[in-house]
Structure 1
Amino acid sequence: MAVDPKDIATLTPKFLSTVYKHFKNDIPDSNWDLKLHLSVTMLRGFLQRGKHKTIEKHQKFLGKAHIPSPPSVSVKKAIVPETCRSQAEDIMAGLLSGQEEKVGWRWKEDPMKQNPLKGEWVESKNRKKLTSTDRVILYIHGGAYFMGSAAQHRFLVQKVAKAGVARAFSFDYRLAPQSPFPAALVDTLAAYFYLIQPPADAGFDPINPKQIIVMGDSAGGGLALSIMLVLRDAGLPQPVGAVCWSPWIDLYHSLPSIFSNASTDYIPNGFVHKASPANPIKNYKNVQERLDRVQYYAYNSALSIPYVSPILADDLGGLGEIFITCGGSERLRDESILLAHKAAKTHPEIFECKKPGVRSYPPTKISLNVYEAMPHVFQLFLFHPAASNAIKRTGAFIQKIIPEPTNDVSSCSSHSSSPHSSFSSSHHHREIEVNINSNILKQKKSSSSLSLQFIDEELDDINEDGEVNYFTNKHIDINGNCKRTNDMLDEGTLHEWVNMLGKLPDLEAHPEFMDI
């Protein structure tokens, strides 16, 4: 993340203080080297200084900030047609029917829709020489739903695209608080429709959903999970899978790591900014005013909607294969861990949906990687071995679920029905078939573009009886080495965490949460 030059003078004392503390062995985590310690401190300081600026100024600066791409990377601009957004609005209106009061605003009349939905294609220029299959990543940038841009995250997108031997499409969804939920989700759905049913002048053919990976970091990871739920619930073709880096999926901040990992992460206790026309919180020092609107992204009444907080969905089964990476020392760690257990239904007695009238789905196949000592979206720190390792593992996952073509014609055929016909659906659920073929794993192992190290590890997706392991959990050290595999939380802890969901933090027990 870029730093405003005006902040450098303010952050310099933090820099010097951190160096002093590090050499005095006063380190939040003993596994941190000086470079990581400094990086976390500086990023935390930058975010904390946001309260002295307006949201509008913050968004404007970050919208322009980005690291230039190397000559080996191709970047092509694009605009998503308004017809795609209209189709997305119709889908969301159907799914949110009856919940208009909870959503809290007339979202279909958002004046920010006057701005076109802009995106960009990012890929290595030699991609087609390295692969005979078309892998497409729909990348959703993070930024707490109210900051960031496709250009700002391009330095990460191009790394992932290269690792996955894929091309990526990222876009600038509408930001909160000017455009709260469901604006960002509508734009994400519109971008997906753009890929599977592009206009004639788009410059590419319709993309088979089975060739698409939805991916995001932080808030973008939350949107990736949300769109998977939307497509499942609306009966529309799902992408083959999703990649979520440190996904933000519990906007209540319900779980223990929000407090326990505060000293080892750069995420502040709350995102607050100077009063401005866009800011719904005019006085962030007023505790009650802040509690009346705890997130810029959504009204308090909307936080329980599963498309806002995906971890609150009654059933997280029936989704495409999901790869989740989080830091062991980040504040959102517990959300990732609980999501993985809930989606994979590791404990059916806890996670099997038994509500009358609510459909129950088969387990979702989950791969969870927890990196020791790492903060939120640690992939930002490209200099660190854990970051480069996580990007390589992400690329291996992308190549695994969208493999090179085989002699089996059906494996690379187009989707059986036109994407256009799907939009006539009356929002019925569709059954998700899980069909894992061990022969595909053997074929992938021979691919010269994929690391044998990671493919060997992925062979535990299939157990000795040839059955699918729906839950794969790896604990990885700071150098990228797998320490433990398939640890599961005990039933008691899972019950406790599930009971915590959907409640705002206990501020009497944790008054420091209001300390900005």
Structure 2
Amino acid sequence: MGVSTFSAAVHITPVVIETFFKHGKRRAQKFKDSIEEEEARDDILFDEAFNIVKAFIELGIRNTIESLQSFTNTHVAAPYWAAVAPIRIPLSVCNDAADILIEWFGPEELKHVVGGERWWQVRGLDGLDAEWITEKEYLSDSQVTVENLPQQDQTILQMEYLETVMLYVHGGGFSWGSINTHRYQLIRYARKIRGRVFAVNYRKAPQYPWPCPLHDVLTAYLYLIRPPPGARHKAVPPSKIVFAGDSAGGNLCLTTLTVLRDLGIPMPSGAILISPWVDLTHSFASVMTNTETDIIPAHGFLAKPSTLWPVDLIPPEGGRVGPTHSSPPPDPGHADTLLPTQERIQKDQAEDNVDPIVQSQESMLEQDKGSSPSTLTSQASGKSKAVDAEESTEATPKQPADDHDIDLWEPKPPKVLMEDPDAVPLELRSQIQQYATTEQLTHPLVSPIVQGSLGGLPPLYIIAGDGEVLRDEIIHLAHRAAHPAEYPARSGVLRDGNRQKANAAKFTTPTKVHLQVFDSMCHVLTVFSFTQSAKFAYRSIAEFTKHIVNNETGEPFPELQRPPSRASVDSEALDEHKKKRPFFKRLTNKTPPSEALRHQSTGVRLYNQEAAVVADQLRTLAQEESSSQSSNVLQGDRLETSNDRKDGAFIMIRERVDIHGVTRDMEPREELPCLQISPSQIGLIKEAPAVRWNKGQEQWDRVFAKEAQRVLKRRQRIERKAEEMLRNAREQGFYRVGEEDVPGRAKAQNASTERSTAENPKDGTIQEGRRWGPLDLDDERPPPSAIAKRRDTTEALALLKMAIYHSAPVTHRTVPKLKAIDAVKAAFDPHDDPMRPPKQSVSEQQVRSQIIPGMHGLRLWDAILGYFMEENSKRAAGYLKDRSDRAGALEERKAGKDAR
């Protein structure tokens, strides 16, 4: 049936009812057991919302990935109080961003790791979709004098005076979600920062895997700071831009920052990372321990078989995960192909004089440890590991003694690090993540947790939920950025990546970090915007953004510079207030302070109270340190050691936030297990998560076995259709640059068909800015899921047809015209229309709702959140009053004692 509003309602309704009764039983049991500890799910509203989101994701993974993408990329209209201006970033900016990535990778890495420099530049649309977003009441009243100016252009000009710009990158596991799933969050951010948000609808995996999304985020940033001719906005100074992203979006923000840093391109003033997914190998413990308290499925993002995914519909012989066939593991850097063949593995074994007998993990590592340097050559670099290791130790911190052994565990095809050293290692024979091939998961631009250095970046505000599966990697990431010398990269990353080795020596300046871990909260807590935790997070994000954009002292922490802004009155309560009043009567920027303060929400008041407490504590801490001139500071403070200060400035603030939005000190670093893990263990695929994923995939293989067989036949039919399309195009006069005579190709009938730039759009054009098309990839090896080179999916077919008949790259000489018979065929194919360009992949092009817009599931979800917001605000108001009364009573008792 697919993912739709109706199927979601059918699937979720029983969950809502079941949650209601289970919640009551759980609360009754806690009361019976006299358990006073509070948790977020004690609130029935959060408990219901948590299970609704979890149930929706479960529904998504029981359907095809295309179905989930279509539902979450359906256009949702903005509410009347929001100003939204959709734009399309031209191909010229996409090309500039591609040149930057090509420079970053270099020719060898592009060929051996990425699979080429062309395929990821291929796109179906004539640019990249994005949106400018702000509140209508923030628009300038000045009249636009340009004649016949479209409304969206006029809106962009009216928001031009708003200096603060948040570049937001949405999450969704790199494979689903869109601007539309995050629309109300984006509007809230624009309101709270009193600025504008620029949101990008990047291409998504598995149709457009890594580095396609990274390419698009970099494109969006270049569009802001270097607008092309025709853009309505002026160049935005990098100092006025803040990156923000959740989950996969947080990963893309961070990796984009590292590319900008490495190449010396001006960086934004800071970044907000909300539950960033930074370790796609799942090498930290919380990915196994926190599954019950998070919305992420235990087995990961699986999917019902389709022509797109999984690539290998039928499990390989011996299973998707099975005992290794090679011993010892191949050297790191053996990535001459993204999918190694059996012949290449046998060749490697012969060259390295390897005993073909499969050994235990411990025996393999011992054999590697005892091998002479001459036999441990790296084919990727062409020099001995002994020389490479010697060079890396000169520029990087020394590693623990066992690092070298474990670091050799980076083979292609990937092996699994076993818990039992006497066991024969497992081998991964199927792709486990949709974003990147299994061989690519340890790349620093895929899993930034293994970056050579995270120093030298602009200030970061990082948020995590204590109950989410990504908690450990987020906490470790924050400390790696703030203390690059104390948390070095894995030596294997430095040894086999020249850029990462150079970065470890070059970027030693600590990145200033504000880390907050929220009690009982799950992944991307800002989704649950009605909770006190989320309200506090939104307020903190706004204050951080406004401070680093307007601050000239270089200090990124607003708590240390000034009291919280009284401009924080644009709150959730005010939002609800606006919805209930006519537009012309809503509060404006000129609202008197006394009137505005009456509309302050509980989130604003909580932030004001807690920020004042933090500021007092940190100033006291600084004074104590200065007066004592000691290198040690009391453990347990938000800045636990003097290492969090450099040249008199704070480097890192570490906090925990309870379910009421009240902050407290984070425990010392030595008490956090995720900070004690050896660098050699980070970024390695380990046994427990690999086995768990395999169990889930095996279940899907059994449930959808017949569907997989049907999909295989469907792929074959689509491949035949693609061959027929190419054959017809040749007969119609299609040929490419460099082709002199192709069998079956008719001669061009007239000059207008060659290098066509027809005025009628349906006749198609050759676009000067479009460098490559799907027919230009013969010598490239893109990941197997990428539709750029595939011919067996409907989306690949649409991309191919677009490139031949509508938006051709400069490598094409002609744009052929469709035959009359094609129109007849199209009448029987709802996905084919010879009169218009074919719809492109739902991972790239937004879908228009076929039902009443207000009844789409995304709009209904926002309505539910609005109701929860109102109800929770009432409860929070009571909590704040009780808290204030208790504080007052304590002060009175204290005053009485002092008097006595």
Q: How many residues end up aligned between the 2 structures?
A: 484
In the alignment, the residues of structure 2 paired with residue 388 and residue 107 of structure 1 have an alpha-carbon distance, to the nearest angstrom, of 43
**70-79 or 179-188: which moved more?**
70-79
* Map of 1:473 onto structure 2: 654
SS in 2 for 1:255: coil
**One-letter amino acid of the structure 2 residue matched with residue 96 of structure 1:** F
* Map of 2:669 onto structure 1: 488
**326-335 or 7-16: which moved more?**
7-16
> Is 2:328 the partner of 1:210?
no
Query: 2:320 aligned to 288, 291, 301, which one?
Result: 288
> Is 2:243 the partner of 1:243?
no
TM norm structure 2:
0.50
**One-letter amino acid of the structure 1 residue matched with residue 225 of structure 2:** I
SS in 1 for 2:477: helix
SS in 2 for 1:374: coil
Residues 107 and 182 of structure 1 are in contact (CA less than 8 Å); yes or no, is this contact kept in structure 2?
Answer: no
SS in 1 for 2:661: coil
Q: Any idea what the Cα deviations from partners look like across 1:201-260, whole Å, max 9, x if unmatched?
A: 222210110000011010001101011101001110000100011001111111111111
The alpha-carbon distance between structure 1 residues 455 and 267, as it changes in their structure 2 partners (threshold 3 A), is same
Q: Any idea what the Cα deviations from partners look like across 1:467-497, whole Å, max 9, x if unmatched?
A: 2221111100011111225743448752316
The alpha-carbon distance between structure 1 residues 131 and 95, as it changes in their structure 2 partners (threshold 3 A), is closer
> Is 2:482 the partner of 1:350?
no
* Map of 1:370 onto structure 2: 517
SS in 2 for 1:24: helix
* Map of 1:421 onto structure 2: none
In the alignment, the residues of structure 2 paired with residue 386 and residue 285 of structure 1 have an alpha-carbon distance, to the nearest angstrom, of 43
* Map of 2:16 onto structure 1: 15
SS in 2 for 1:207: coil
* Map of 1:119 onto structure 2: 130
> Is 2:374 the partner of 1:256?
no
The alpha-carbon distance between structure 1 residues 439 and 229, as it changes in their structure 2 partners (threshold 3 A), is closer
**One-letter amino acid of the structure 1 residue matched with residue 104 of structure 2:** L
* Map of 2:612 onto structure 1: 456
In the alignment, the residues of structure 1 paired with residue 557 and residue 45 of structure 2 have an alpha-carbon distance, to the nearest angstrom, of 42
SS in 2 for 1:331: coil
Task: Spell out the pairing of 1:20-99 with structure 2 (5 A cutoff).
Answer: 20-25=21-26, 30-32=39-41, 33-64=43-74, 66=76, 68-97=77-106, 98-99=108-109
In the alignment, the residues of structure 1 paired with residue 254 and residue 696 of structure 2 have an alpha-carbon distance, to the nearest angstrom, of 30
Q: Any idea what the Cα deviations from partners look like across 1:361-416, whole Å, max 9, x if unmatched?
A: 20000001111000001111122111111111111111111127xxxxxx5xxxxx
**One-letter amino acid of the structure 2 residue matched with residue 399 of structure 1:** K
- The CA deviation at 1:284 is 8.4
* Map of 2:529 onto structure 1: 382
The alpha-carbon distance between structure 1 residues 156 and 440, as it changes in their structure 2 partners (threshold 3 A), is closer
Residues 72 and 180 of structure 2 are in contact (CA less than 8 Å); yes or no, is this contact kept in structure 1?
Answer: no
Query: 1:338 aligned to 473, 476, 489, which one?
Result: 476
Q: Any idea what the Cα deviations from partners look like across 1:131-171, whole Å, max 9, x if unmatched?
A: 98611000001010011111221111111121122210001
Residues 189 and 227 of structure 1 are in contact (CA less than 8 Å); yes or no, is this contact kept in structure 2?
Answer: yes
SS in 1 for 2:73: helix
- The CA deviation at 1:513 is 7.1
SS in 2 for 1:188: helix
**One-letter amino acid of the structure 2 residue matched with residue 308 of structure 1:** V
Residues 445 and 455 of structure 1 are in contact (CA less than 8 Å); yes or no, is this contact kept in structure 2?
Answer: yes
The alpha-carbon distance between structure 1 residues 489 and 229, as it changes in their structure 2 partners (threshold 3 A), is farther
* Map of 1:318 onto structure 2: 456
In the alignment, the residues of structure 2 paired with residue 84 and residue 458 of structure 1 have an alpha-carbon distance, to the nearest angstrom, of 43
* Map of 2:814 onto structure 1: none
Q: Any idea what the Cα deviations from partners look like across 1:278-335, whole Å, max 9, x if unmatched?
A: 2144448875178621110011111111111111101100000000111110111111
- The alignment yields a C-alpha RMSD, in angstroms, of 3.1
SS in 1 for 2:26: coil
> Is 2:506 the partner of 1:360?
yes
SS in 2 for 1:504: coil
Residues 366 and 470 of structure 1 are in contact (CA less than 8 Å); yes or no, is this contact kept in structure 2?
Answer: yes
Residues 123 and 158 of structure 1 are in contact (CA less than 8 Å); yes or no, is this contact kept in structure 2?
Answer: yes
In the alignment, the residues of structure 1 paired with residue 564 and residue 538 of structure 2 have an alpha-carbon distance, to the nearest angstrom, of 21
Residues 131 and 165 of structure 1 are in contact (CA less than 8 Å); yes or no, is this contact kept in structure 2?
Answer: no
* Map of 1:505 onto structure 2: 686
Residues 396 and 455 of structure 1 are in contact (CA less than 8 Å); yes or no, is this contact kept in structure 2?
Answer: no
In the alignment, the residues of structure 1 paired with residue 191 and residue 242 of structure 2 have an alpha-carbon distance, to the nearest angstrom, of 14
Structure 2 unaligned spans of 5+: 31-37, 141-158, 322-427, 495-500, 569-603, 627-646, 698-900
Structure 1 unaligned spans of 5+: 405-410, 412-433
- The CA deviation at 1:87 is 1.0
**One-letter amino acid of the structure 2 residue matched with residue 122 of structure 1:** I
> Is 2:304 the partner of 1:270?
no
**241-250 or 82-91: which moved more?**
82-91
**89-98 or 128-137: which moved more?**
128-137
SS in 2 for 1:126: helix
Q: Any idea what the Cα deviations from partners look like across 1:36-56, whole Å, max 9, x if unmatched?
A: 222222222221222332211
**One-letter amino acid of the structure 2 residue matched with residue 19 of structure 1:** F
Residues 293 and 299 of structure 1 are in contact (CA less than 8 Å); yes or no, is this contact kept in structure 2?
Answer: yes
> Is 2:555 the partner of 1:436?
yes
The alpha-carbon distance between structure 1 residues 12 and 24, as it changes in their structure 2 partners (threshold 3 A), is same
- The CA deviation at 1:501 is 1.3
Q: Any idea what the Cα deviations from partners look like across 1:38-95, whole Å, max 9, x if unmatched?
A: 22222222212223322112211110064x4332211111111211111111111121
In the alignment, the residues of structure 2 paired with residue 353 and residue 5 of structure 1 have an alpha-carbon distance, to the nearest angstrom, of 48
**One-letter amino acid of the structure 1 residue matched with residue 86 of structure 2:** K
Residues 400 and 441 of structure 1 are in contact (CA less than 8 Å); yes or no, is this contact kept in structure 2?
Answer: no
**One-letter amino acid of the structure 1 residue matched with residue 274 of structure 2:** W
SS in 1 for 2:688: coil
**One-letter amino acid of the structure 2 residue matched with residue 363 of structure 1:** P
**One-letter amino acid of the structure 1 residue matched with residue 24 of structure 2:** F
In the alignment, the residues of structure 2 paired with residue 340 and residue 440 of structure 1 have an alpha-carbon distance, to the nearest angstrom, of 19
In the alignment, the residues of structure 2 paired with residue 344 and residue 439 of structure 1 have an alpha-carbon distance, to the nearest angstrom, of 18
Residues 107 and 183 of structure 1 are in contact (CA less than 8 Å); yes or no, is this contact kept in structure 2?
Answer: no
More helix by share: 2
**70-79 or 480-489: which moved more?**
480-489
SS in 2 for 1:64: coil
- The CA deviation at 1:181 is 0.5
SS in 1 for 2:665: strand
The alpha-carbon distance between structure 1 residues 187 and 512, as it changes in their structure 2 partners (threshold 3 A), is closer
The alpha-carbon distance between structure 1 residues 399 and 3, as it changes in their structure 2 partners (threshold 3 A), is farther
SS in 2 for 1:383: coil
SS in 1 for 2:320: helix
In the alignment, the residues of structure 2 paired with residue 437 and residue 9 of structure 1 have an alpha-carbon distance, to the nearest angstrom, of 47
In the alignment, the residues of structure 2 paired with residue 344 and residue 132 of structure 1 have an alpha-carbon distance, to the nearest angstrom, of 34
TM norm structure 1:
0.85
In the alignment, the residues of structure 1 paired with residue 94 and residue 138 of structure 2 have an alpha-carbon distance, to the nearest angstrom, of 30
* Map of 1:402 onto structure 2: 549
SS in 1 for 2:123: helix
The alpha-carbon distance between structure 1 residues 484 and 3, as it changes in their structure 2 partners (threshold 3 A), is farther
The alpha-carbon distance between structure 1 residues 131 and 111, as it changes in their structure 2 partners (threshold 3 A), is closer
